[in-house]
Amino acid sequence: MKRFLSVLLLLTLNVTAFAQLRLARLFSDHLVLQRQKPIPVWGWANPNETVKVTLANQTQSAQADASGKWLVKLNPLEAGGPHQLNVLAQSGNLTVKDILIGEVWLCSGQSNMEWRVMQADNYMNEKNDANYQQIRHFYVDHEVTMTPQTDLKTGEWVVCTPATFGNFTAVGFFFARDLYKKLNIPVGLLHSSWGGSQIEGWISREAMLTDNELKTYAQKLPDNWEAADAIHDAKTRKALLGSEEINPDAAYEKKYLEENYDISKWLNAGSPLGQWDWKGVWMFRGNGFMARNVNVPADMAGKETTLGLGIQDSPNEIYVNGQLLFKGILKGNRKIIVPANTWKAGNNRLTIKFGKMADPSWYGLGIMGSNEDLYLSAGTDKISLANEWRILPSFADNHEYLHSSNNVGTTIFNAMIAPLVPFAIRGALWYQGETNAGRAYQYRKSFPLMINDWRKQWNDEFSFYFVQLSSYGGYQNSNQGSNWGELREAQTMTLSLPKTGMAVSTDVGNPKDIHPTNKQDVGHRLALNALKFDYGQDLLHSGPMYESVKFEKGKATLSFKYTGKGLTAKDKFGYLKGFEIAGDDKVFYYAKAEIVGNKVVVFHPKGLKPVAVRYAWADAPEDANLFNADGLPASPFRTDDWKGITINGKFE
C-alpha cells in the first residue's frame, strides 16, 4: 500500500510539473505582425522542451530555457495574409488563425490616447467608413506591478467593423485609417494607455537609474506593495500635513470637528465635486473630512433651512459649529432639514466626516452631482456652497491606497509595456503630458529618457511620433506664465531625437474640456509624419516651426521651417493673433504681427524695442492662428530662454 501511494504521489508530482504549451497573450487569432522586420514569437513550455514554430512556409525551432520560456525569430515577411501560425511541442500544439502581415503601431499615453472612437466627433457618421477588416486593435488592460511582467493576463486582437471600432483608440483608429487608405496594407494597433498617467510610470527602473534626477528615486524603489503603500502614505502626509513625521491619532482628529478648529492649512479643494484623487489625495481609500465657513444672514439663522450636499452615499457625520446635525447614510441627492436656530447669524463652521462612496465603490472620497446641488436655503433665499471647501483625509482611521497608475514610478511599464517586448512594431504613437505639466522642465529629460528606454528594450530605434498638448484652461499672458506652454516647449525640444515627429493640436482643443473630441485631425497629423518618414510619401508633415529671429529697427522678423506653399492667418479678416513681445525688462505686451513672404514681422505700435517674442504661450491659446497653406498650425514657441515657472517641479 505504501509503495502504491509513493508511486501515485510521484505521478501526481510529474503531472503538476508538466507545463502546458502556451503562447504569449499577444499571439491570438486576427493578430497583425510587422512586415519587413524579423518576427519574434515566444511563449512557455516545459523546461528544456523543444518547440517548433511554423508560419508562411517557414519553420524554426527553439529550446525552452530552465524557466520554460522559449522564443524564435522568424524571417521578415512582406505584407499579406491571412496566414496561420502553428506551434508544436511534446506538451501540446497550438494554432493561431487569420494572421495578417502589415504595419504595427504601439499607441500609448494617457486619456486622450485612450479616448475611444465612440466618444469622438461624428461617431455615427464615422460608422459609414469603419468596415476595415485589415485594421485590427489589441487593448492592454490597466495594471500596475512592482516588478516587470513577462506576459499579459488578458487581451485579444479585434477586427475593425462598424460594430467593433467604437471601442478602438480614436487617435489610433484615425491614424490607421489614413495609413490603410494610402498604403492598402494591414495595420495593427497595439493599444496600451492609461488616463491621467504621469510619464514616470512608463519608464523602466533600469532607465531611471541612468538619469541624474530620477536615479535616487529608482534606487529607493520598493519591491512589494506593502512597502510602497507605506512610502505613499508618508508622501501624502508630507504633502497635506507639512511633514511625513506628522501622523495624527484619533484623539487629535476629533478636534477637526470643533467649531473653531483652524482649517486654513487643509487642502484647498475649491469645489468639493469630483474624486479627491484629482485634487491631490491620490488613491486614498478611507474616511475623510471636508469643511468650510458659511456666512448666514440673521433672518435666515432663525428659520428652518435645507442643506443640499450633493450625492455621497457613505456613512456621514455632519456638524454645524461643532454640534452633530446628522449621522447616517443618505442615498441620492442629499437634502437635510436643519432645525431653526441651528445656525447663528454671521460666520458658521460646517464640517463633514465621511467614508468612501459605496456606489460606485471605486469612487472613493468625493461628492457627485452639480454645483446647484450644494446650497443652504430657506424659502426663496439660497446660499451657494459650491466652492471654498477644504479637505483632509483621516490618517488615524483605517485606510489603504488603491494600486493605480501614479502611486509608484515604473509600475505601468512593468505591467503594460514589458510584456509587449519584443513584439515587432514599426513605431509608437504617444499622447501624454497633461499630468506632467507642473514639472515641464523635467519633462525635457524624462520624455527623451522614456523614448530611448523603449527603443533599448526593443533593441530597435523605431519611429516615435507624439501629440503636442492641446488647448485647455486659461489664456494667460506670458507675464503670468504657462505650465502647458512650457510642457509644449519640452515636447518640441524632444524632436532633437532621431526618428521623431510631432502633431500640433492647439487649434483643435477645447479650453473647457481636457478631452477635446476632434480626434480625426490629431490622427491625421500623426499619419502625415508616418507617411512621410516611414513610407516615403512626398508631403508636408508639419505646420510652421520657429527657426530663427532677427531684431532690428524696433521689429522682430521670424523665420520658420515647414512653410510649404506659404504662411497664412486663419482669420476672416486676415489678422495674425497670439504674439507677444518683451523688451530688456522682460515684461511682455500683446503685439501686432504681419506675414511678409515666408516670414512673420512682429512689433508694438507704441515703438517698444523687442528682445523676445512668444507665440501661443498660454494653456489655451484660443486665437493663435498662424498656419501654412496646407492647413497645419504653427507650433507655439518663444525666442527667449528666460526662467520658466515649472523649473523647480520635480518628481518624487
Domains of the chain (ranges; CATH) run 245-401 (2.60.120.260), 546-634 (no CATH)
Return the number of other C-beta atoms located less than 10 Å from residue 28's C-beta.
17
Dig out the grid coordinates for 570 from the structure. 486663419
pLDDT value at residue 158: 98
How many CB atoms are closer than 10 A to CB 514?
Answer: 18
pTM above 0.85, yes or no: yes
Nearest-angstrom CA–CA distance, 576 and 593: 6
Residues facing residue 53 across a β-bridge: 60, 87
Q: Average pLDDT by consecutive 10-residue portion of the chain (652 residues)? A: 46 52 98 98 98 97 97 98 97 97 98 98 96 98 97 98 98 98 98 97 98 95 94 94 95 96 96 92 94 95 94 92 94 92 96 87 88 95 96 96 95 98 98 97 98 98 98 96 98 98 97 96 98 98 98 96 97 93 96 96 92 98 96 98 97 92
First-to-last alpha carbon distance for the chain, in angstroms, is 63
Residue 358: the pLDDT is 79
The 8-class DSSP code of residue 401 comes to E
Q: What is the pLDDT of residue 356?
A: 81
Cα–Cα distance between 630 and 565 in angstroms, integer? 7
* pLDDT for the residue numbered 18: 58
In DSSP terms, which residues pair with 159 in a beta bridge?
136
Distance of CA 478 to the CA centre of its chain: 26
